């Protein structure tokens, strides 16, 4: 639909609010109005409700698919063989986009990749991608490589490491949204393709669509996660949190500076999104995916930072709550993201400190989303349980950890 896929529209509703805001430089106090330029960029005729982002490669693939379909019409006995080739063409394109923009080994995160997507990528790699010789490894069996394609390589012109370009966000958007556009065109062709092949071959086609074509949108998550993970220095924030004293005796009314550090980083990302949107329109769904990843990573940083506290008082927990509420309150002025993802992940961890022993027991077993280290840190910082009870709760967590392995 337009909201998820449109990027050029005559309606302001298609433009994320943050890309229309007036930003104020915190140092100079000077206003910087982006709304007029963005609206001009996004203003098109009423007939242009949706203009897709498409690369030349995508258009060439679609032309080849068109020729394949002409061939199937003329040579019906080999229609299934042609569909097999068509599926391999899409598979290779699908795999290449992911390998260029989603397989960055410097920012691994198992949460960013759907398990079904992982299986699809592994299957394509095994079936289509020729193994390259590895120095010191046994020689590659060339007979197995004969019907496979060599791994594609990203053009050196594309730089995925520049922070001021949000790690190649423009190129990532063009590549991924083009792939998704191609997948949607194939979905429209599915009934025509099914009509061209024998009944006993239709299972293959259905499998191709369910296992690969329908997975195209899942490529967004790992690709844009790479941007969100590098756009903010979460490790630096955690280092700032480590210097905070949480065993205070007084109720504080001022939040800690590390919160401002995260928010300033988010403001910088928002500015960069405005600049990139001038060159390559950022679809709303991409905008939301990026911010969701940023907030999730920030929330995990909060919990990890809180769990590093050696000692914590009731007043310290109240300060944690104050810090997080300040973070949530300021998010509204930076991004249009509701509901805030995994908010309860942070709030639940802070509130668990106040639970009586009887409730803490069941809470630990119900919240496997926290790491073993985070749960143990919580137990050790709770001051309203005795030593015997503390050890019993530690045993529960350690047993849970063993069952995870």
Could you read off the pLDDT of 14-59 as tens digits, one per residue?
445 555 444 434 433 444 444 334 333 433 333 334 578 889 999 9
CB 232 within 8 A of CB 298: yes
Residue ending a domain, among 217, 241, 257, is 217
- Within this chain, do residues 75 and 174 fall inside the same structural domain, yes or no? yes
Average of pLDDT values for 359-365? Answer: 90
Peptide bond into 339 cis (omega under 30): yes
pLDDT at 118: 92
- The partner residues of 31 in beta bridges, in order of sequence, read 24
17: part of which helix (H) or strand (E)? none
Entry pTM: 0.82
Alpha helices in 308-386 (DSSP H): 314-331, 343-351, 357-366, 372-381
Q: Identify whether the C-beta of residue 334 lies closer than 8 Å to the C-beta of residue 287.
A: no
| CA–CA distances in Å: residue 400 to residues 35, 373, 381, 382, 391 | 52, 12, 19, 19, 14
Which of 201, 217, 233 corresponds to the end of one domain?
217
Same domain, 236 and 170: no
Question: Residue 334: which CATH number?
Answer: 1.10.357
DSSP state of 245: -
User: 275-333: per-residue pLDDT in tens?
Assistant: 999 999 999 999 999 999 999 999 999 999 999 998 889 999 999 999 999 999 999 99
Average pLDDT of the residues in 85-94: 96
The answer to the question of residue 21 being in a domain is: no
* β-bridge partners, 395: none
Residue 110: the pLDDT is: 52
Question: Does 39 fall in a domain?
Answer: no
Number of folded domains in the chain?
2
81/171 same-domain check: yes
CA dist 355 → 247, 323, 360, 383 (Å): 18, 20, 6, 11
Res 41: pLDDT: 40
Domain check: are 204 and 272 in the same one?
no
Per-residue pLDDT reduced to its tens digit, 163-217: 999 999 999 999 999 999 999 999 999 999 999 999 999 999 999 999 999 999 9
User: Are the CB atoms for 38 and 20 separated by under 8 Å?
Assistant: yes
Residue 143 forms part of a structural domain: yes
Q: Tell me, what DSSP letter sits at residue 199?
A: G
Return the pLDDT at 138.
63
SS3 state of residue 24: strand
**Strands 22-24 and 31-33: what pairing?**
antiparallel
The radius of gyration of the chain from alpha carbons, rounded to an integer in Å, stands at 26
Do 186 and 66 share a structural domain?
Answer: yes
User: Could you tell me which residues are beta bridge partners of residue 376?
Assistant: none
Question: Cβ neighbours of residue 91 under 8 Å, at least 6 residues apart?
Answer: 124, 127, 128, 212
Q: What angle do CA 222, 223, 225 make, to 5 degrees?
A: 60
Pair 37, 278: CB distance under 8 Å: yes
Cα–Cα distance for residue pair 11/8, rounded to 1 Å? 9
CA distance 134 to 313: 55
β-pair partners for 24: 31
In this structure, are 120 and 209 located in the same domain? yes
- Is residue 213 within 8 A of residue 186, CB to CB? The reply is yes
Residues 167 and 269 grouped into a single domain: no
C-alpha 254: how far from chain center: 33
Are residues 213 and 236 both part of a single domain?
A: no
Q: What is the mean pLDDT of residues 114-119?
A: 91
pLDDT score for 44: 38
| Domain membership flag for residue 300 | yes
Confidence at residue 109, expressed as pLDDT on a 0 to 100 scale: 57
Task: Please choose, from the candidates 88, 84, 83, 86, the residue with its C-alpha nearest in 3D space to the C-alpha of residue 64.
Answer: 86
Beta bridge partners of 23: 32
In a domain, 321, yes or no: yes
Q: Are residues 133 and 101 in the same domain?
A: yes
- Considering the domain architecture, whether residues 194 and 250 belong to the same structural domain is answered as no
CB 135 within 8 A of CB 142: no
Contacts of residue 16, defined as CB under 8 A and 6 or more positions apart, other chains included, come to: 282, 284, 287, 288, 336
- Residue 44 covered by a domain: no
Task: State pLDDT tens for residues 221-265.
Answer: 999 999 999 999 999 999 999 999 999 999 999 999 999 999 999
Residues 77 and 200 in one domain: yes
Query: Alpha helix locations (H) across 138-201?
Result: 142-145, 169-195
Higher pLDDT, residue 10 or 150: 150
Does the residue 150 lie in any domain? yes
* Burial (Cβ within 10 Å: 0-12, 13-18, ≥19) of residue 2: middle
Q: Which of 217, 237, 268 is the last residue of a domain?
A: 217
Gap between the Cα atoms of 93 and 57, Å rounded: 9
Same domain, 179 and 261: no
In a domain, 338, yes or no: yes
Q: What pLDDT, on a 0 to 100 scale, did the predictor assign at position 137?
A: 57
Using one digit for the tens of pLDDT, what is the confidence trace for 138-169? 665 666 666 788 889 999 999 999 999 999 99
**Range of 183's domain?**
56-217
Distances (CA, A) of 48 to 15, 178, 253: 15, 18, 52
* Burial tier of 282 (Cβ tally within 10 Å: 0-12, 13-18, 19+): buried
């Amino acid at each position: 639909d337009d909201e998820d896929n449109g990027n050029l529209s005559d309606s302001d509703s298609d433009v994320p609010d943050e890309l229309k805001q007036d930003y104020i430089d915190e140092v100079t106090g000077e206003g910087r109005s982006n709304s007029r330029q963005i609206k001009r960029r996004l203003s098109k005729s009423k007939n242009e409700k949706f203009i897709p982002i498409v690369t030349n490669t995508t258009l060439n693939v679609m032309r080849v698919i068109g020729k394949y379909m002409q061939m199937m019409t003329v040579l019906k006995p080999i229609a299934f063989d042609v569909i097999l080739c068509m599926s391999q063409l899409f598979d290779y394109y699908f795999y290449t986009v992911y390998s260029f923009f989603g397989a960055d080994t410097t920012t691994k995160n198992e949460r960013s990749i759907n398990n079904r997507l992982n299986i699809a990528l592994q299957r394509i790699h095994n079936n289509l991608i020729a193994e390259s010789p590895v120095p010191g490894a046994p020689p590659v069996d060339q007979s197995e490589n004969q019907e496979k394609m060599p791994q594609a390589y990203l053009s050196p012109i594309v730089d995925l490491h520049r922070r001021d370009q949000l790690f190649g966000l423009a190129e990532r958007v063009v590549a991924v949204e083009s792939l998704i556009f191609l997948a949607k065109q194939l979905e429209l062709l599915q009934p025509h393709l099914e009509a061209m092949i024998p009944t006993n071959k239709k299972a293959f086609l259905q499998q191709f669509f369910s296992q690969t074509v329908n997975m195209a949108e899942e490529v967004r998550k790992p690709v844009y996660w790479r941007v969100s993970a590098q756009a903010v220095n979460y490790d630096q924030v955690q280092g700032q949190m480590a210097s905070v004293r949480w065993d205070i005796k007084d109720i504080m009314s001022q939040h800690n500076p590390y919160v401002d550090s995260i928010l300033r980083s988010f403001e910088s990302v928002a500015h960069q999104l405005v600049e990139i949107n001038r060159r390559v329109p950022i679809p709303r769904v991409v905008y939301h995916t990026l911010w969701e990843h940023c907030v999730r990573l920030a929330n995990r940083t909060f919990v990890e930072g809180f769990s590093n506290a050696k000692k914590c008082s009731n007043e310290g927990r109240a300060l944690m709550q104050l810090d997080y509420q300040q973070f949530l309150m300021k998010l509204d002025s930076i991004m249009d993201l509701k509901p805030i993802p995994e908010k309860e992940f942070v709030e639940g961890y802070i509130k668990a400190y106040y639970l009586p022993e009887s409730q803490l027991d069941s809470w630990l077993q119900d919240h496997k989303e926290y790491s073993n280290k985070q749960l143990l840190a919580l137990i050790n910082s709770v001051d309203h349980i005795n030593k015997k009870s503390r050890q019993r709760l530690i045993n529960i967590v350690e047993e849970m950890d063993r069952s995870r392995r």
